[in-house]
Structure formats: structure tokens, C-alpha cells
Amino acid sequence: MGEWEPELGELRAREAMAEQMGGAEKVARQHDRGKLDVRQRITALLDGGSFHEIGKIAGSPTYDGDGELVDLRASNFLFGRGRIDGRTVVVAADDFTVRGGAADAAIIGKQIAAEKMAGELRLPIIRLIDGTGGGGSVRTLDTDPSKKVSDTEGGHGRGARTYVPMNPAWEHVVANLAMVPTVALCLGSVAGLGAARAVTSHYSVMVKGMSHLFAAGPVVVNRMGGEQVDKEDLGGSRIHTRNGAIDDEVRSEEEAFERTRRFLSYLPSSVYELAERGPCTDDPGRTDAGLGDVVPRDRRQVYKMRSIIDSVVDEGSFFEIGRAFGRSAICGLARLDGWPVAIVAGDPYHYGGGWTAASSQKVTRFVDLAETFHLPVVHLVDNPGFVIGTEAEQQATIRHGARALAAIYQATVPWCSVLVRKAFGVAGAAHSPAHRFQYRYAWPSGDWGSLPVEGGVEAAYRADLEASDDPAALLAEITERLNSVRSPFRTAEAFLVEEIIDPAETRPLLCEFANLVAPLRTPGPARFPYRP
């Protein structure tokens, strides 16, 4: 027997106790709900055998009268390092089987350590959130000795007391947004601090029917008496993936892990590196004659912008983010000749591609993501302007739109715009940062100006129309006259648009752009920090 074999034996015993998590009954209950337990989740997310846990034996011990360890209830928070596709990441995971994820003594220190580790070692961090994520409980105030939570569970020292709220390690959570890719997976009912940790990320996911997100859960809301709700009505994935709080909804935990791996594949490990070029499996010179027929000649007809995206990027590489929110704008990551790029596009199926308050928020956050991680932006433009009307004004569309415009003008990453169809007004001007060199192409279907002719004529010629004996005939005459100078070729004559191209040639030109700008990317922090 080795000199320290008794201590090593105790270490192995403590580790075995920690691996029991909340105990067989509570782990079974987790499985019965159709959920993986925390250790299964980590195994499913990471490359096989790559997880190295830190602080495994931290928790709440039970000793007998002789001071011998009888039991060790693990902390309800696990963290450590592992690999995804061979690249090291930090994983920070809640264990709902231990006190439903509420705070204990170890969770605070371990959460702080996980965030510090990601920031200081410049590693992506993935939060697997299930429960309050370290939030408090009024049980910590109970002075009944038979019910009072222990000091190690409450984390508030000797005796019960209230405390002024603070979010432990929040400065590190915020700092990491400007430093390393941050992913949050909501894998249960997530409330309070856990909910805040979920949305303070670059990419977040909920599982349909299993995940819920709230500032406070149904028990608290119902107790207030204003409304009576259940978990799904209050904070289901359908709500939060459509209001912009959470990016995407998936059908299973396994799908959430797969989307995490894909998201990270487009990004560097930190802002001090550059995203790597992927495999070049698609011909950069590939053309698509079918693109010439995608945009209808009738400007009121819609078409599928995603078919254009799929045609011009490397085959199968488009990874859309936030599809259910701000739907008139399409945002996602893709590759061009292997190089990762950020894609922004208009979707004419929703408000004709016009920007709403929601789509403006979506674009702002996405452009900030591209700027933070040095991704070139390709903007496929079809934007008739800001959506108008009473609802748009009530939602402060112009303020949110101006923020999107500011984000675009603050961006320093390489930028290429393709004017597919409409670009009108202030929102249309957001197709690129106009003060920089305009790396820009236009399709023959391009249509632009301060206002669309349809609708703009009545405003500009109102007095003439009111004075006319035949307003309808005059309106038709004016419209025809204006349409005669609407051709994009008139704009190109004055070099107000640089190139009009055959749509079939779009992919080769974009791949050329990606290759030209690849050496120009500069690692390091962005000029302004990313905000959730």
C-alpha cells in the first residue's frame, strides 16, 4: 500500500458520492421527466472522454459522532474543461437533482471560477442551465431549527438574515461577452438569476415542451393575484423564441447540443484569435442560372430569400439564428469558400422585408456579434424601409432602427452588400456603412430611392392630385413617368451604384470577397463591448 493510499481511497470514495448527484430517487425523477441528468448532458455535449471536472468533491458533507464522513451531497453546479471538435471549452452546468439548482455554498464559488476560467484562459463557455441557476430561496430566512437551511446551503454565514441583492461574478459574465463565445442552453424551468445567465449570451436555445424561462415562476406570479398561469403560458419556448429573449427552439437536448457545436464552429475561441477556415468542399466558381428567375418582376410579389442564401454560400453551411423573432430580417452564419461570414438578409414574406422594432433589435445584436468576433458581413438587401403605422410608432421602431443603423456604421469588419431588390429610406440606407468603401453589387431587379414610387406619389403630389379633375388618371400618368427613370442602370450611369451583375455570378463574387478580406481581419477586442 502506498504512503498516501488511505487519503487516495477517501478521495475516490468522495468522488463516488459526488457522482450520485441528488441521489437515485431524484435522478430517476429527472429521467422520468424526459430529461438527461447533468453528467449525461456533459457527456453528450463534449468529445468522448474529454471532460475534466473541477471542484468535484465540493458539496455538503455529513459526519458521524466520530468525525467520520458518512455522506457527501454534491454541489448542484458542475464545471470544468472539455473539448468540442478537438477545441477546449468551459462547461458550466446546473444539477437540478440537488435542491432544484438553488444556491448552496459551493455553487457561488464554482460559478465565479467557471466565468473567470473562460475569460482568463480565453475559452468559449457553455452554460447548461436548469433551475434558478444559483438563485436564492426564502428558506434561507427560516429560523426554525427543524426547517432552517444549513449555513453551507444558504451561504449566508451564521444565523438567518436578509441581504442586499447582488449577482455573484456578474462582472465576469458581462466581460466574457466581449471576450469569448458564450452559449446558454435552457434545459428546464429557468428563473431569476438562471434566466439572466441564459439571456446574457451570444447564442441561446430552449427545448420545446421542456424548457421554460421566467423572471419569476408561476407560483410567485399566481400568488400576486393578477393572473393565473402555468409554466408554458408564462415562459414556454414559443414565447421566448418569438420575443427575442432566446435565440432558437429545438426538439430535444441532443439537438441543442448539436446546434451548440455548429454555432461554435464558425467562431474563434476568443476575440484574440480569428475564426478558422473550414473545408473547401464547394466550388467557389459555381454559378446558378436559376437565381435570375427568383425575384419576380412584379414588385408586390414575394420570393424565397433563403433559396438565394443557400445558393450563394457553401453548400449546407447556412446556420440561421433567431428565425422566429424579427422575421423580416434573416441573420445567420455561413461559409464562403470555407471562410466563416455573417449573413444578413431581408425576408419579403414578412412586412415585405421592412424593418420592425424587433428586426432592428435582431440586426443590431447580430452585427455586434460579427464585430466582436471579426466576421465579415454579407448583406443581401431587400428592405422597403421601416414598417409604418400606429403599431410601429408605439413600438418605437425609429429608435430601434436608429440603433441598428448605428451598429452598422460602427462596424469595422469587411462588408459586402448585394442589392437584390428594394432599398428605401433610412432603413434602406442601413444596407452598408456608407462612409466606407462600398464593396457593393446590384441585381437588375434592384429598386431604390427615398420612398417607393408606390405610396410615395400620393404624398409628393398631394396638392396636384387634389386639384385635378381626374386624380386617378393623373396618378397613373405621374407613376408611369417616375417609373421610366426607375431603372438601376440610370443609377449606375452616375456611379451611384458600383456594379450591376448577373445574379448567377453572385457566389463567385462573394467567394472572391471572402478571400480578399481574409488577410485583413485583425484579432483583438472590439472598440465597444457586446451587450446582450
Q: What is the 3-state secondary structure (H, E, C) of 349-408?
A: CCHHHCECHHHHHHHHHHHHHHHHCCCCEEEEEEECCECCCHHHHHCCHHHHHHHHHHHH
Report the CATH architecture of 5-265: Alpha-Beta Complex (3.90)
Question: All 3 cell numbers of residue 152?
Answer: 453551507
The model's pLDDT over 364-400, given as tens digits with 9 standing for 90+, comes to 999 999 999 999 999 999 999 999 999 999 999 999 9
Separation CA 24–CA 31 (nearest Å): 10
What kind and span of H or E run contains 117? helix 105-121
CA atoms within 13 A on the CB side of 214: 21
The model's pLDDT over 71-105, given as tens digits with 9 standing for 90+, comes to 888 899 999 999 999 999 999 999 999 976 565 55
| Domain coordinates in residue numbering, the chain | 5-265, 289-450+487-520
* Confidence check: pLDDT of 14 > 70: yes
Q: State in words which class domain 289-450+487-520 has.
A: alpha beta
Start-to-end CA distance of the chain, whole Å, equals 55
Q: What is the pLDDT of residue 156?
A: 46
Separation CA 338–CA 348 (nearest Å): 28
The residues, any chain, with a CB within 8 Å of residue 348's CB and separated by 6 or more, are 302, 303, 305, 382, 421
The residues, any chain, with a CB within 8 Å of residue 86's CB and separated by 6 or more, are 47
In this structure, of 85-94, 211-220, 241-250, 463-472, the range with the lowest mean pLDDT score is 463-472
Nearest Cα to Cα of residue 129 among 49, 52, 209, 183: 183
Q: What is the pLDDT of residue 141?
A: 59
- Return the ∠ at Cα 274 (arms to 325 and 120), rounded to 5°: 90
Q: What is the pLDDT of residue 59?
A: 87
Asked if 113 and 91 touch (Cβ cutoff 8 Å), the reply is: no
Global pTM?
0.91
Question: What φ, ψ does residue 284 adopt, rounded to 5°?
Answer: -65, -20
Beta bridge partners, 196, equal none
As to burial, measured by CB atoms within 10 angstroms (0-12 exposed, 13-18 middle, 19+ buried), residue 320 is middle
Residue that is written with C-alpha cell 422520468 in the block:
32
SS3 424: strand
Asked if 172 and 108 touch (Cβ cutoff 8 Å), the reply is: no
Can 5-265 and 289-450+487-520 be said to share one CATH topology?
yes
Beta bridge partners, 207, equal 250
